[in-house]
Amino acid sequence: FWNGEFQEGRTQAEYNEEYYREMLRVVQSFKHYSVLGHMDLIVRYDKAGVYPFEKVKDLITEILKVVIADGKGIELNTSSVRYGLSDTQPSRDILRLYRELGGRIITLGSDSHRPDHLGAHIASSMELLKELGYEAFCTFENGRPVFHPL
């Protein structure tokens, strides 16, 4: 989807829904991960604009239920600021839903492909998590989450 090939020949609804259906299949099939990152990365590459959350909420809910049941987490990626996106990645809607469903394992990542990106916007992302009702963020030691108060 980063080069547009995934979207070719599909409507915005088709490629967004397929993106999340595939993510659901992934979390149902593969269990050897700690954190699901880039949950709504498709947003960054959607030339048609942001697809309404409500239209994919059921799929995202199913994904998050599997993630939570498996004891896994999600990542709040701060690169959305660098890319000038209108929302966080994942979106505030997804972050709220994850917490409402009982999700607590959340990491912060700056998507650092260059040294000057390392740790960018972590402090403001921690503040956002507090605003959304989170009490802690996680790092991992030996594959286990370690909770750090916000």
pLDDT at 57: 98
Low-confidence ranges of the chain (pLDDT < 70): 79-85, 112-121
pLDDT at 123: 82
DSSP three-state, residue 9: coil
CATH architecture of 12-149: Alpha-Beta Barrel (3.20)
pLDDT at 78: 78
Domain ranges of the chain: 12-149
DSSP three-state, residue 127: helix
How do 144-149 and 136-141 pair as beta strands?
antiparallel
What integer best gives the mean pLDDT of the chain? 89
Bridge partners of 76, per DSSP, are 108
Contacts of 150 (CB under 8 A, 6+ apart): 126, 129, 130, 134, 135, 136, 137
* Global pTM value: 0.90
Instruction: Select from 70, 115, 119, 68 the least CA-distant residue to 94.
Output: 68
Taking the C-alpha atoms of residue 134 and residue 97, their distance in angstroms, rounded to an integer, is 12
